[in-house]
Amino acid sequence: MTKNNVIFIFDYDGVIADSLDMCIEAFNIIKDKYGFTGSLTKEAIMHLPHVTAEDAFNLLGVSKEDQHLYTGELMRMLQANAIKAKMFDGIGDVFKLVKESGAYLAINTANGSGTVKKRLEMAGLAELPDYIVGADTPGTKSEKIAHIMEKFSASPDCTYMIGDSMGDITEGRKAGAHTIAVTYGWQPRAVLESVNPEYICGTMEELKALVQKKSRV
């Protein structure tokens, strides 16, 4: 199929995979192993400006200087337990719609790219993304969005960042992309509305309808 110049960039955790409980479990295993005294809860995550490993380690009381000591262990744990992250019902249909429209499909995540690839393989979706950028690629999320746009020669006006956190939306806007917030993930509608995404989807069906509309050029 001939490609058009539209690109949809999906966050992974909370948009593609229902992985919140699994991620909290992994952090808490590290917390107990090394005796950190902080607390990582769903309520705390709901209000983090950026939902990243760095922010989670900050909640556990791990200094920025020491976080690198535990990040590798965390990423290995997440990859080993990738199957525990249930794919949201209907995300495969959204992916297929993007591909059938001729648009590009990318994933931009704070998770490890190996974890994402492993879970997509398990779900039979590994062949659909055109590009995956994970925590193993340096840079902020907005810098990675800019990199993705450059790679596929997509203009900001034809680029859509789809996320479930305030950080996804603010970083998407910083890169000049259109922003789509989904409220079925890690952060609720009221929190996401505070950063003024261009579009808000409460269900996978709403996301599918919006993607179908915006994939037309």
* High-pLDDT (> 90) share of the chain, %: 61
Question: What is the tens place of the pLDDT at every residue in 70-129?
Answer: 988 888 887 787 777 899 999 999 999 999 999 999 999 988 898 899 899 999 999 999
Q: Which two tokens stand for residue 96?
A: 């297929």
pLDDT-derived band of residue 16, with 50, 70 and 90 as boundaries? very high
The more confidently predicted of residues 163 and 112 is 163
> Contact, 142 vs 171, CB < 8 A?
yes
Q: Give pTM, 2 decimals.
A: 0.89
Residue with tokens 């779900």: 123
Q: Are 13 and 86 in contact (CB under 8 A)?
A: no
With 0-12 / 13-18 / 19 or more C-beta atoms within 10 angstroms meaning exposed / middle / buried, residue 43 is: exposed
Q: Are 20 and 186 in contact (CB under 8 A)?
A: yes
Rounded Cα distance between 198 and 160, Å, is 10
Query: Of the candidates 134, 137, 36, which has an alpha carbon nearest to the alpha carbon of residue 82?
Result: 134
The mean predicted confidence, pLDDT, of the chain is 91
Model confidence at 1, in pLDDT bands (50, 70, 90)?
very low
